[in-house]
Every structure is written in structure tokens, then in C-alpha cells.
Amino acid sequence: MRDLRIAAIQISSGASVAANLARAGELVRAAAAGGAKMVLLPEYFAHLADGGSAAVAETFASAEADPERQPVQAALQRWARENPLWLVAGAMPLNQRPDGSAVDAGRVRSACLVYDDRGQCRARYDKVHLFDVEVEDAARSYRESAGIEAGDSLQVVETPWGRLGLSICFDLRFPELYRELAARGAEILLVPSAFTHVTGSAHWLTLLRARAIENGCFVVAADQCGQHSPRRRTWGHSVILDPWGDVLAEAGEEETVLAADLHGKRLAEIRRRMPLLDMRRLP
């Protein structure tokens, strides 16, 4: 792995796609000005209100499926090309699967797209684990599966600095996904998220540190923050961790650009001293 300056964007997205894109673009440019060569946006960076209703998600996805429109994808391509940097676009609803087939009417995929510094889409990961839970907050119940079709494959992406393992938010609670990404060669695990304030305050950093430590990987987690609607509040506290679980940078609960330098030598040394991936035993 080569050294990389990476940034995580922490944003408080709302119901206006145009306003969200304007703010995200501003923060991406700030990250580039700070020397970042790769930027991670959070989940639902382009739209987040009351969890993103199925109807709103489908409307959003329909616009993105139109080659003459695609306002969000066009913005992402432009930001990556003009800054220039690699841009990992958290997650947004798309109504086509990676193979081009249409998702059933009324449903979408939650997709994370990776753009290189020429604005070309290099990879796509569709969220595998859907957030169907009860939470003691104003929303009380979350049912992503009501409007989202789960993904069915993992993605490890080659970059000029090393290999990225892609995931989205609720995936974080399933360690076997990250172990498989590491087994496939991932060196940097990315976790774009919109963690609720209740679950984030309880589990966010603990889970992220565990994924870094048990896999010997850098972890970069970009979270939503703040009060998005009367029923939706997210945790923030985006964080960048090294493979020992040490915090390289951590945000609070406000919008910000979080950046850190990832050193390949640090990764190699930790994996040499504790080669966990070579020591696994499953009796």
C-alpha cells in the first residue's frame, strides 16, 4: 500500500437534492484544497429526510436512470475530475442493478459508486444488509427492505494507493463481511453511513475499531450528522482509524471535512507483527 491522504465528509443532508449537492460539492473542494487524494461521502449524501420514503427514493432513482439527466452522478463525475481526486459516493438509490437489469417497481438498490480522478466510475457496491430494526428514537421503526432490494456481491477496488473494501452503514454489524473483504485483499475499509443518534452513541466507535483491529485494516467512516427532520437524527462522529484501532482523526456532531494520512508502512508493520489473516482457524 502507498501513502494516501484521505478525507471523510460529514454532512447534514436534508430533503433538497440541489441544496445537498451544493454543500457536498463545497466540502469536496475543501478536502481537495487540504491535499486529499481520495474523498468519502456519507450514506444518503444527496437526500435524507424521514429515512427516505420509498416514493422519494424511486423518484430520485428514476432521474438517475435517465442518461440525459443523472444530476447526482453528473455532479460526482465533475467533482472527481475537476479537483482532481478519487471520490467514493456514499450511497444513493438507483433503480437498476449493476448488470443493467431493472429493479422491481417500487424498489431501488442502495448503491455506493467509486469514481477515479478522471470522473470515470470504477466500481459499484450495493448495500447487502438492510436496516430493519426497532430503535428507541422518534422514528421508532426502520424498514429499509420495504423499498430497497438487497445487494448480492462484495466489492474490493484497486486504486493507485491500495485496495478498498466497500460497505454501507448497517453492514458494519456483520464482521464476516469485512473479514471476506480483507481476505480478498482489502487494506482500507470504507463505511459511509447514516447511523441513528441512539445506535451511534451506543455502538459506532466500538464496531469501527473492532473492524479495524480484527482485519488489520485502515477504516474510514463518513457519517451523517444532526437533525434532518422531526423523526430523523444522526450521530456524526465520523472517524479515521489505523489498523491498530488508533484514532487518526475524529469529528464531533457538526458538518466538517475530516482528513488523515494513511501510511503503508504502518499497515505492513502491524500485519507483520500480528498476521491475523494467516492465523485463522475454523475447527
- For residues 74 and 82, the answer to whether their CB atoms sit within 8 Å is no
Does residue 75 have a pLDDT over 90? yes
The reported pTM is: 0.96
In a domain, 223, yes or no: yes
What residues pair up with 110 in beta bridges, in sequence order? 93
pLDDT of residue 49: 72
pLDDT of residue 244: 98
What distance in Å separates the CA atoms of residue 202 and residue 135, rounded to the nearest whole number?
12
pLDDT of residue 64: 86
Q: pLDDT per residue over 128-164, tens digit each?
A: 999 999 999 998 999 999 999 999 999 999 999 999 9
Mean pLDDT of the chain: 94
Q: pLDDT per residue over 107-121, tens digit each?
A: 999 999 999 999 999
Domain CATH for 60 = 3.60.110.10
pLDDT top residue among 99 and 64: 99
Q: pLDDT per residue over 208-238, tens digit each?
A: 999 999 999 999 999 999 999 999 999 999 9
- Tabulate helix, strand, coil % of the chain (nearest 5): 30, 30, 35
In a domain, 112, yes or no: yes
Residue identified by cell 430533503 is 15
Q: pLDDT per residue over 11-38, tens digit each?
A: 999 989 999 999 999 999 999 999 999 9
Q: pLDDT per residue over 181-215, tens digit each?
A: 999 999 999 999 999 999 999 999 999 999 999 99
In a domain, 283, yes or no: no
What's the structural domain count of the chain?
A: 1
Residue identified by cell 500485519 is 271
- For residues 219 and 196, the answer to whether their CB atoms sit within 8 Å is no
Q: pLDDT per residue over 47-66, tens digit each?
A: 987 644 555 676 777 778 87
What distance in Å separates the CA atoms of residue 62 and residue 136, rounded to the nearest whole number?
33
C-alpha cell at 180: 471476506
Residue ranges making up the domain that contains 239: 4-278
pLDDT of residue 51: 47
In a domain, 89, yes or no: yes
In a domain, 159, yes or no: yes
Residues forming the active site: 43, 127, 169
